[in-house]
Structure 1
Amino acid sequence: MNSVDAYAAELLEGLNEPQRHAVQHPGGPLLVIAGAGSGKTRVLTHRVAYLVRSGQCGLGEILAVTFTNKAAAELRHRVGDLLGRSTRGLWVATFHSACARILRVEAEKLGYTRQFTIYDSDDSKRLVKRCLEAEGADTKRFTPNAVRNQISDHKNRLRSVEQAQDLAAGHYDRTVADAYAAYQKQLVANNAMDFDDLMGRTVDLFERYPDVRERYRRAFKHVLVDEYQDTNPAQYRFLQLLCMDDPMHQAGPSGGGTGRDAKGGGEDTNALTAPLAGEEPGHRNLMVVGDDAQSIYGFRSADIRNILDFEDDFPDAEVIKLEQNYRSTQHILDAANGLIGHNSNQRPKHLFTEEGEGDEVRVRAMQDDHAEARWVVSEVERLAGEGVPLGEMAVLYRTNALSRAIETSLTQAELDYQVIGGVRFFDRAEVKDALSYLQWLHNPANTVAFARVVNRPRRGIGDTSVGRMLNHAASTGVTPLEVIADPAAAGLKTAAVKAVGAFAEQIAELRETLFGAPDEAGVGGTASGSDLRVADLVEDVLRVTGYRSELERSEDPQDEGRLENLDQLHAYAEEFDAEGTAGAGEGTGSEDAFHALDRFLQQTALLSDADSKANGPEGQVTLMTLHNAKGLEYDAVFLVGLEDGIFPHSRAIDSGELEEERRLAYVGITRARRHLAITWARRRAMYGPPQSQVPSRFLRELPHEALDETSPEAMSGQPSFGGSERGRRDFSQIGRIGRGSSPSRPGGPPRDLSSLGLKRGSDLVSSKADAPPAPTWQPGQRVRHVKFDTGEVVRMDGDVVVVHFDDVGEKRLIAGFARLEALG
């Protein structure tokens, strides 16, 4: 064996058989289906090093594409370690940075100079806003961020301005398409590209100039792609043009992009034309690595068809599956395998490990979101006591709004935590805005709070006007509240005076709500505020100022999350009110309301202050959404909020996107190495007052063999219990909401729950009397609920009763926990 062969052979040591097969692939198209934790980065880095060490190509003849700069840096570093030398010349880059590098050389062919500017997302949003204003669009309805996202989707699908206009189905879409046209025109005039243009313009370049495409084809003898399941149509087309034998060709209109769905199909199929005559065949050395079960970025235009249909695009492709997992124990993998098996659009795989079975997965049903948070924190403390570092524990949830109860419980337990990919709850902009309104109502001299809220939502009160009002207040010794009563005295212009006057009317209404109407002398307040609750005041602020309505009108998906956060703030205020007014003064009603607000603001300030304090070297518990958790791993993972409508999200249920939601749950499960717990709450304050919840359908898809023995009952909404052997259980009816059955012994009568070791919520209860009743309600029967008052039963869905309440409309309640009272 010569030295080259010896060096290459070293790279195969320690790899399992499928990994070695992928690293030694002789060439041509290769799809590596890399299950979670199966060592895909190891395969990619060893493949690059093997190509170089075996003499198949030089470093400068390889293009390795990743999705993040961090992943690119890691890949380059690990290749350098394997080769034992510099990786200078190796193209390891994100899609966008690779395209930017190409365009810096070739931009003049597309009408740009090589010094073109790359606009970041803030630059793009500002330009979109100017274009919308120039078109006369209402930027409160057509928010720049939402319109920018729509334009981005068009570009990622390679749709030209003209195609976007042709596809516009209504006024909103037409406005977006017109903004797209104006925006793109301005980009070209400014010699600028946004991030999406970097992909689209490179595709445009390769399609317009076959000689340029051929030059880069020859330069890159091997192309490797990480996270292929996350590629969008533009990225797919870029790879197709670099590697395929007969790439389809169309010259896109100048200034408009190539303009079609690169995969074909759908509304853009006709945009692909015949292959170029006389073009040399591509080298076809394309290796893509990914996992269709982790395709969770459809909202970013990622197209799972790219990985599912790889053999359709490359009929001679070889497919290798990496199924041995090096991260998790087998019980965790069994849960993941069982869940994802319910997806129909997938490449079947079965993850296995040699790490042993490990702890069983635990599913716990909690009485409410507070009990859920307390249980999670108690488990964090227990695991920490057993030696698991806080930094090796993560709490994952579907939406950021679910973090609030967990954050509060962690803070009360004096456990340090970090929120990844987001901001701590009380530091989120919309939460701080609402609290700033309350702070200014409480203290009119608070200039910081005033400056924050005076133009939120946007009222046409610019920074110059705000500065003049603050200067006037400081120079005359009055509060900002007194300034807005006479804005002209602060030197504001006519338009600003009008805007401030409208704002002053809103504040006057809110102050009347808080303090009561002034008496005839204009100096006091009536007792009309005596019944005021802080939660009511929070809602009044959001309503009167127009803050809520602006977010509700928005088409921006991020604003949906902001509304959820404001609903959580309202729920937090509801909880504050429900805890009573211990320590409140015994004065007038207005004093009571004022002092309640004072205590509420003090409590939130103390929570925010405690959030900023670190606990020392033992680390921080990590909180994040499931989308942000992709690619990470922890010793212990808690998945919280597994309720239908929350996870899977109601939006996904309505739009039929359950498979992507299930893939998201799969990602969450496979983040855990040793310990996995999944929780849901029977009552949760998510979108207003606490409401009864039903367990997520995903829980019923988990294989019982992977779970501890109390989990199946928790999955169905039944009380958790133990005390019998797993193999003797009858699980046939567990988790089947709508079947009207309860767990029973095989062939025997229903269980006598008092004889079993019941659990309270998820913990122990003492007797049958503690278990919730499960009454059967008849359609048309009148009932009363402690929260929703009177209503009429619509129907029974198994153990869920549907009631139409006179004041709040239809609600779905778990019959055993609804505490309904029959009337008449």
Structure 2
Amino acid sequence: MENENILENLNLEQKKAVQTTDGPVLILAGPGSGKTKVLTHRLSYLIKQGIPGQNILAVTFTNKAADEMKKRTIKLLTPLDAARLTGFIGTFHSFCLKILRKEIDKLDYKKNFVIYDEDDQLNLMKEVIKNLEINQEQFPAKRALHVISSLKNETIDYETYRENAQEYFEKTIAKIYQAYQLNLKQNNALDFDDLIMLTVKLFENFPEILEFYQEKYKYIMVDEYQDTDPSQYKLIKLLSSKYRNVCVVGDDAQSIYSFRNADFRNILNFEKDYPQAKVITLDQNYRSTQNILDAASKLISKNVYQKPKNLWTKNPSGPPISIIGTWDEKNEAEFIVQKIKEFLKQGYKLHDFAVFYRTNAQSRAIEEAFIKNNVPYKLIGAIRFYQRKEIKDIVSYLKYIAVNDSMSLKRIINTPTRGIGKITLDKIIKNGIERVAEEKPEVGIFHKFIQKAKEIAIKNPLTKLLKFILKEIDYQNYLRKTYGDNELQAGLSEDEARWQNIEELINVGAEYDKLPAQDGLKEFLEKTALLSDADEIQNNKEVVHLMTLHTAKGLEFPIIFIIGCEEGILPHSRSLLNPLDIEEERRLFYVGITRSKTHLHLVVSQRRTSWGSKEANMPSRFLSEIPEHLINYEEYNGEIKDLIDF
């Protein structure tokens, strides 16, 4: 039978998940249960069953997950079958982007819109609040953006919000929201949240467009369903409402993104939304030891709102979970360095280790200890490649060349300096660059350069355009003048390190050179706008990985240290008064624990520096929820179990 190879090496529940193709399906996938394997085998099975590839939609949350899904699915298929995999596999945002590129004119937008990243959004918001003469202390730009993002995640547009606004705060946000949206539209730009909100709006307002995509995507798969926000939930509900062949995969116990408006009730209520749903639970774990799984299961059982699972494995019981008491954060970091050195002597590699923490600020003491002891490390979720100043400078040139948006113009007009003042810049934005170029020679020179760059963009590969920009603005010399005196590690000056990033940007650009000229520029701008932290993690590098517990989701390491296991840190102080927030903190701890393959270290500090002084801490309540027989209390510099007195 031709499907036999697809079903090989799957356990009973995995086979059931792969073979249940019609109607609504909920796959509850515990950590390390082979979720990606099931998704890829299910995709392959659909193709083998004769489902037309173009009728399949598979959505994920990161480009990395989507790329892995594609690659692994193609490996399972013959070249002939793989060629039929012509549906869409990608992120929610990239799926909506694809639709909007074709259909957004129905909503009175231009199809060649750009996507504003967080910095672009923040700069625009600051400008909006200033122009509205609203008190920026009462309504900081970041706060306003957060509120508007939440509204967009609920698919509430500014007209609807304005109609229902009653309090002073709501009425002011309504004004800001309206001005922000109109400015975005004027700049022919969308922000991330617009991508999904406008697609939902399109489907709701134009039934014929919705029906077209319902016919196109008759089989829908959604990864990490517990992380969907209301707009993503609504999008899937609309698309699946005709044929109802929707398969969602996720784990309510790993829902940790409520601050991004993710609603774990979406997965808990799936059977209410789809009464005919089949529920399949994947509870066999292939990653961790039984001790780790028992600890995780006991911990998460304390949550009221959950779908119970019984995690088990054929792996050995493994060593007990280590709980370590240290004196302070410096002592905590010294312990981790010492422990890593011990494991390295046993044959482990640096990439086998990860340090997790609740907030980014906790990494400082660890970083200092690693630098002092020459332990190579990589900080995940710090300044990402595409968020670095030099990269944003050049990408802003590309954006302006593509669509003339004012936010990019403001960034590049004096980078490097051209002596163009704010009054002149305001005139350019108000009256157009052509008119001002006739009056001001410096603007005329800049305008000619941009026109020439646009001509190159139309006919030439992306790298030629990049090299032209860099040469014309003499960017390497600009970096030398700006940063040349600053020394960095590894013998590089700061300007050299930044120029190396520019060289890497050209390498990235080369990947788009095979596309037609304007398509290469457009796809490059789209790809860079949609990248996330998780897309940058590479486990093959010989470094210890440092990251927050939120960033750790979806990863695995043989040896893990979770630091700051104290009340007020994990669980976070902001969650202490709300039982639902405590449940999310517990889920976050559960995610951290279940990343570990064999060795798990939970570190408690008796004192931690806060606002310049040492403060005493209580051990996290979550530690007391792990059964005693699974724990080994370790001593470090005389700090023993007495320090962790429950």
Aligning the two structures, in what range does the TM-score lie when normalised by the shorter sequence?
0.7 to 0.9
1:192 Cα deviation from its structure 2 partner: 3.0
- 1:90–1:640 Cα change, 3 Å: same
Greater RCO structure (CA 8 Å; 6+ sep)? 2
- 2:26 aligns to what? 31
2:613 corresponding residue in structure 1: 689
Q: Distance in 1 between matches of 2:126 and 2:190?
A: 16
Give the 5 Å matches for 1:232-631.
232-244=229-241, 282-422=242-382, 619-631=542-554
Once the two structures are TM-superposed, the CA of residue 329 in structure 1 deviates from its matched residue by: 0.8
Match of 1:79 in 2: 73
Residues 51, 193 of structure 1: alpha-carbon distance in 2 compared, 3 angstrom cutoff: same
Distance 2:125 2:328 in 1: 43
The aligned amino acid for 2:54 is G
Map Cα deviations across residues 434-453 of structure 1 (whole Å, 9 max, x no partner). Answer: xxxxxxxxxxxxxxxxxxxx
Pick from 563, 583, 602: which aligns with 1:678?
602
Could you report, residue by residue, the CA deviation over 1:270-320 in whole angstroms, capped at 9, with x for unpaired residues? Answer: xxxxxxxxxxxx110000001111111100011111001101100110111
Q: What percentage of aligned pairs have identical amino acids? A: 44
Aligned to 1:685, what secondary structure does the other structure show? strand
Q: Which of these residues, 12, 35, 48, is aligned with residue 17 of structure 1?
A: 12
Does residue 47 (structure 1) correspond to residue 7 (structure 2)? The answer is no
**The residue matched to 1:691 in structure 2 has which SS?**
strand
Q: CA, structure 1 residues 414+315, in 2 after alignment: closer, same or farther (shift >3 Å)?
A: same
Whole-angstrom CA distance in 2 between matches of 1:605 and 1:704: 50
| Matched AA of 1:313 | D
Residue 204 (structure 1) shift: 1.0
Post-superposition shift, 1:607?
Answer: 9.0
Change in 2 beyond 3 A, CA 1:645/1:610: farther
Question: Which of 704, 711, 720 in structure 1 is aligned with 2:628?
Answer: 704
Q: For 2:488 and 2:201, how far apart are their aligned partners in 1?
A: 55
Amino acid at match of 1:761: E
Does residue 1:645 correspond to 2:568, yes or no?
yes
Indicate if the aligned counterparts of 1:37 and 1:326 stay in contact, CA closer than 8 A.
yes
Say if 1:312 and 1:76 are closer, same or farther in 2 by CA, change over 3 A: same
TM-superposed deviation, 1:648:
0.6
Correspondence 1:69 to 2:63: yes
Cα distance, 1:621–1:117 mapped onto 2, change above 3 Å? closer
Q: RMSD of aligned C-alpha atoms? A: 3.3
Q: Taking structure 1 as the reference length, what is the TM-score of the superposition?
A: 0.58
In the TM superposition, what whole-angstrom CA distance separates every residue of 1:52-101 from its partner, at most 9, and x where no partner exists?
1122x111110011111111111111111111324452211211111111
1:118 Cα offset (Å)? 2.9
SS at match of 1:22: helix
Q: Distance in 1 between matches of 2:99 and 2:177?
A: 25
1:169, distance to aligned residue in structure 2 (A): 7.0
**What is the distance in 2 between the residues matched to 1:670 and 1:315?**
31
In structure 2, the CA distance between the partners of 1:361 and 1:660, relative to structure 1 (3 Å rule), is: same
- The question of whether the paired residues in 2 share the 8 Å contact of 1:416 and 1:611 is answered with no
Residue 760 in structure 1 maps to residue 641 in structure 2: no
Letter in structure 2 aligned against 1:705: H
Number of aligned residue pairs:
511
1:316 is matched by which residue type in structure 2? Q
Change (3 A) 1:131 1:225: same
The separation in 2 between residues aligned to 1:328 and 1:227, in whole angstroms, is: 20
Greater fraction helix? 2
The match for 1:274 is none
The alignment partner of 2:104 has SS state of: helix
CA distance in 2, matches of 1:140, 1:620: 42
Partners of 2:121 and 2:130 in 1: CA distance: 14
Secondary structure of residue in 1 paired with 2:576: helix
The 1:395/1:26 distance shift into structure 2, 3 A limit, reads closer
Q: 1:99 to 1:611 in 2, by over 3 A?
A: same
Amino acid at match of 1:666: Y
Provide the residue aligned with 1:754 in structure 2. none
1:167–1:684 distance in 2 versus 1, CA, 3 Å:
farther
Q: Call closer, same or farther: CA 1:58–1:644 in 2, change over 3 Å.
A: same
Asked whether the equivalents of residues 340 and 663 of structure 1 are also in contact (C-alpha less than 8 Å), the reply is: yes
Please state whether the residue corresponding to 1:36 is helix, strand or coil: coil
| Aligned position for 1:117 | 114
Aligned match of 2:195 in 195, 198, 205?
198
Asked if the contact 1:154/1:160 (under 8 Å) is kept, the reply is: yes
> Aligned pair in 2 of structure 1 residues 229, 609: CA closer, same or farther (>3 Å)?
farther
Deviations 1:734-777 (A, max 9, x none): xxxxxxxxxxxxxxxxxxxxxxxx981039xxxxxxx89xxxxx
1:213 to 205, 210, 213: 210
Alpha-carbon spacing, 1:168–1:418, altered in 2? closer, same or farther (3 Å): farther
Kept in 2, the 8 Å contact 1:388–1:635? The answer is no
> 2: CA distance between counterparts of 1:608 and 1:629?
28
Q: 2:218–2:240: 8 Å Cα contact kept in structure 1?
A: no
Residue type at the aligned position of 2:559: A
**CA–CA distance in structure 1, aligned partners of residues 271 and 42 of structure 2:** 21
Distance in 2 between residues matched to 1:671 and 1:320, nearest whole Å: 22
**Is 2:129 the partner of 1:132?**
yes
For 1:80, the aligned partner's letter is I
**Paired residue secondary structure (1:654):** coil
The higher radius of gyration belongs to 1
The 3 A distance-change label for structure 1 pair 198 and 799 is closer
Unaligned runs of 5+ in 2: 390-412, 424-485, 498-539
Contact 1:389 1:618 in 2 (8 A): no
SS of 2:155 mapped into structure 1: coil
Measured in 2, the distance between the counterparts of 1:619 and 1:373 equals 19
* TM-score, structure 2 normalization: 0.74
The CA distance in 2 between the partners of 1:92 and 1:420, in whole Å, is 25
Flag the 1:605–1:376 CA change in 2: closer, same or farther, 3 A: farther
CA offset at residue 46 of structure 1?
0.6
Are residues 799 and 242 of structure 1, via their aligned partners in 2, closer, same or farther at CA, if it must alter by over 3 Å? closer
Change beyond 3 A, Cα 1:608–1:660: farther
Tell which deviates more after alignment, 634-643 or 79-88. 79-88
- State the alpha-carbon separation in 2 of the partners of residues 668 and 799 from structure 1: 23
Change in Cα spacing, 1:205 to 1:664, as seen in structure 2 (3 Å) is same
- Rounded to whole Å, the distance in 2 between the matches of 1:176 and 1:623 is 37
**Cα distance in structure 2, aligned partners of 1:318 and 1:406:** 46
Counterpart AA for 2:106 = K
- Paired letter, 1:37: G
Verify the 8 A CA contact 2:21 2:46 in the aligned structure 1.
no
Asked whether the equivalents of residues 55 and 218 of structure 2 are also in contact (C-alpha less than 8 Å), the reply is yes
